[in-house]
Amino acid sequence: MTTDIVSQYQGIYIAMYSAYDEAGNVDQDRVRKLARYYVGKGVKGLYVGGSSGEGILQNVEERKQVLEAVMEEVKGELTIIVHVGANSTREAVELSKHAEKFGADIISAVPSIYYRLPETAVETHWQHMIDSTNLPFIIYNIPQTTGFTLSTSLLAKLAKQDKVIGVKMSGESTFELQQYKETGGSQFIVFNGPDEQFLAGRIMGADGGIGGTYGVMPELFVKLNSLFIGNRIEEAQVLQTKINGIIKKLLGYPSLYGACKYILSLRGIETGAPRLPLLPVRPEHHASLAELNKEIEETVAHYTGV
């Protein structure tokens, strides 16, 4: 690994949402507009095709369409991490090669899901992606959805490879996050996954964060990160608590992504409804979401002066 890997990639990455037309098809114009919306917000980059982006609910061609639109719009302006995880190793490798072809900066992947695979099978799955391109690779650990928990022994083995530069830790244990950082070493980058414990993750060794709710309040996570860097921990705790109140409200709707996408629509960023089985918000939720959007905007103004 290069000696500057952490400084090169640390920071705030938005787990970018899907963008569909009214018929539920990928809309590249809407993808481009959404990507452009995040330029100038102070974030380091975008994580494309992950949980928030509904990559698992899209076919390979749709995932390619999304990435191509993102790269056309913001290549060189934001760092782009592409989630290439798929049940089939063959499809994951195809997506990996496509990401390299279109100029993505990093690829990342969850294990194959549905089958309860032994660790050797997960390692083989990831290794095929790692070997298929010259891009850096970030392991995506999210055991609550995949049923697989990354062991420190497997992480240590994979981290010996120059192309394996980090892990997106979306498990809920900051102890495990700290263990991953210790195992990987000072130049192995760890991204905090759970938005509601961003500050806790940073305190325990995370080098930045990748999150879905960042998409409706990126300025607040950028500010939270700057407070941590400035060692203004008490102020950071107050802001994390405020953010968590917003997250709790978002989680009260039929789907988190449906709520976030509706809030963006109030700002003129249309991304369509989430793809079933993820549920859209219902008309009776519109008024309360408008109030929540107002709360977010007022909080952003308070903390940023904008």
Residues with active-site annotation: 140, 168
SS3 track for the chain: CCCCHHHHHCEEEEECCCCECCCCCECHHHHHHHHHHHCCCCCCEEEECCCCCCHHHCCHHHHHHHHHHHHHHHECCEEEEEECCCCCHHHHHHHHHHHHHCCCCEEEECCCCCCCCCHHHHHHHHHHHHHHCCCCEEEEECHHHHCCCCCHHHHHHHHCCCCEEEEEECCCCHHHHHHHHHHHCCCCEEEECCHHHHHHHHHCCCCEEEECHHHHCHHHHHHHHHHHHCCCHHHHHHHHHHHHHHHHHHCCCCCHHHHHHHHHHHCCCCCCCCCCCCCCCCHHHHHHHHHHHHHHHHHHHHHHCC
Region at 198 (left for phi over 0; alpha for psi -120 to 50; beta for the rest): alpha
**92-98 contacts at long range (C-beta below 8 A, 24 or more positions apart):** 92/125, 92/128, 92/129, 93/128, 93/129, 93/132, 94/60, 95/49, 95/60, 95/63, 95/64, 96/129, 96/132, 96/133, 96/135, 97/132, 97/133, 98/64, 98/67
* Residue found under tokens 């993750």: 201
